[in-house]
Amino acid sequence: MDRKPVIFSGIQPTGTFTLGNYMGAIKNWVKLQDDYRCVYSVVDLHSVTIRQEPKILRENTMRAYALLLACGVDPEKSVLFVQSHVPTHAEAAWLLGCYTPYGELGRMTQFKDKSAAHSENINAGLFTYPVLQIADILLYNASLVPVGEDQRQHLELSRNTAIRFNGIYGDTFVVPEPYIQKEGGKIMSLQEPAKKMSKSDATPKAYISVLDPPDTMIKKFKSAVTDSGTDVAYRPGKDGVNNLITIYGLITGKTIEETEAEFKGKGYGDFKLAVGEAVANHLKPVQDEYYRLMDDRAYLEACWKQGAEKAFAISSRTLEKARKKVGLLKR
C-alpha cells in the first residue's frame, strides 16, 4: 500500500497559465510528485460560478489539462482529472455545506471581491464556492494543500468544516494543512511590478503566458517596467528589477548575488533580454509538448478518463463513509 501523504490541488481552466501560475504553482506540483501521492484537478465546476462561454470553457478545460501534462504532471504517478467528470464532488459539497456556517462563508474575501466584480450575477454557487473546494480536498484525505496566499482563507474553512464534522461523528476526514512553498512564491506584473502577475490584467504586456511565442515573450521582457537606475541589483523599492532577478533565478537556479555578478557593468537592456531568452528557452519544450498533445485528442481523452476513474474510486470511499455517519440510507 502506498503510504505517502496525499496532496490535493486544483486550478481553474480560465485561459492559459501565466508565468506566475507556472513558477508559483505548477512547477511545484510537478516536483511534489516524487514525495507525495498527488491528486490534481482542473476545477471546471468552480469556473461556472462566473458566466462562461460554453465552447470556450470546453476548450479551456482541455487546454489546461494538456498544459498540466506538458509541464510534467505525470498521469501514471499522480491522479489528474477534470472535476466535473467525478460526481462525488458535487454530492460531497452538498453534504459538507450543511456543516459549514453561512456566517463563515459570508466572511470570505474572495466572495466579497468576486461579487463586487460581477454584481450582475451574484449566484448561490459563488457563495458556496468554498464548500466545493472543501469537498475537493476532504474527499481525497489530503493532508497537504499547496495554495497561494489568496486561498488561505478557503483552506482554513476546510479545516474548520473537517474538525466540526469529526467532532460530531468521530474521525472521518483528514484535517488538511496548507503546504507552504519554499520558493517560486510571487511573480509580479511586468508593467506594474507592485502588483501580482495576472492573466486578467487588461494589458497583455503585463503578463507572460506559458504559451506566448518566444519572440513575444522576449518583447514583453524588453518592455518590462523598471526604474531610472542602471545597476542590476536587488534593492528594496526596486520592484521591477527585483522581479526580473527573481524570475531569472527561478529559471537558471542562480542566486541573487550570482545574477548581480553576471550583469555587473551591463545595463537593464542586456539584462531584460537575457531574462526573456532564458524564460523562452525554458518554456520551449513545454510548448512543443503541449502542441503535440493537443494534436492527440485520443490520448488526452484516455488520460482524463483514467484520471476520473481513479479519482472516483478514492473519493467514493470517503463519501460513503461520510454518508453512513450522517445517517443516509445505504444505496
Q: Which residue out of 196, 220, 238, 272 is catalytically annotated?
A: 196
Q: Least distance from C-beta 180 to ligand TRP, angstroms?
A: 14
Question: Has 114 been annotated as catalytic?
Answer: yes
What is the tally of helices (H) and strands (E) in the chain?
Answer: 14, 5
- Assigned C-alpha cell, 264: 555587473
Residue placing its CB nearer to ligand TRP in the complex, 111 or 268? 111
Site for ligand TRP in 112-151 (CB under 6 A): 133, 136-137, 145, 147, 151
Length of the chain: 331
How far lies 212's CA from each of 29, 54, 58, 279, in Å?
22, 24, 21, 11
Q: Which residue out of 114, 220, 238, 272 is catalytically annotated?
A: 114
Among 37, 46, 85, 196, binds ligand TRP (CB under 6 A): 46
Residue placing its CB nearer to ligand TRP in the complex, 100 or 151? 151
The residue number with the shortest CB distance to ligand TRP is: 10
Residue placing its CB nearer to ligand TRP in the complex, 16 or 226? 16
Site for ligand TRP in 144-183 (CB under 6 A): 145, 147, 151
The site map against ligand TRP for 199-218 (x = CB under 6 A) is: --------------------
Residue placing its CB nearer to ligand TRP in the complex, 63 or 238? 63
Report the distance separating Cα 266 and Cα 275, nearest Å. Answer: 13
- Assigned C-alpha cell, 276: 526573456
Site for ligand TRP in 2-21 (CB under 6 A): 8-10, 12
Site residue total, ligand TRP (CB under 6 A) = 12
Report the distance separating Cα 184 and Cα 27, nearest Å. Answer: 9
Report the distance separating Cα 262 and Cα 271, nearest Å. Answer: 9
Question: Has 199 been annotated as catalytic?
Answer: yes
Q: Which residue out of 31, 199, 205, 222 is catalytically annotated?
A: 199
Question: Has 310 been annotated as catalytic?
Answer: no
Q: Least distance from C-beta 12 to ligand TRP, angstroms?
A: 5
Strand 144-146 relative to strand 79-82: parallel, antiparallel, unpaired?
Answer: unpaired
Q: What strands lie across the sheet with 79-82, from one edge to the other?
A: 79-82, 37-42, 6-11, 144-146, 177-179
Cα R_g (the chain), whole angstroms: 21
Q: How many CB atoms lie within 10 A of CB 14?
A: 18
Residue placing its CB nearer to ligand TRP in the complex, 13 or 75? 13
Contacts with 95 (C-beta within 8 Å, 6 or more apart), sequence order: 319, 322, 323, 326
How far lies 245's CA from each of 185, 251, 254, 271, 278, in Å?
13, 10, 9, 9, 12
Q: Least distance from C-beta 150 to ligand TRP, angstroms?
A: 7
Residue placing its CB nearer to ligand TRP in the complex, 178 or 214? 178
Q: Least distance from C-beta 48 to ligand TRP, angstroms?
A: 13
- Phi and psi at 11, nearest 5°, equal -140, 140
DSSP label at 26?
A: I
Binding site for ligand TRP (CB under 6 A): 8-10, 12, 43, 46, 133, 136-137, 145, 147, 151
Residues marked active site are found at 114, 196, 199
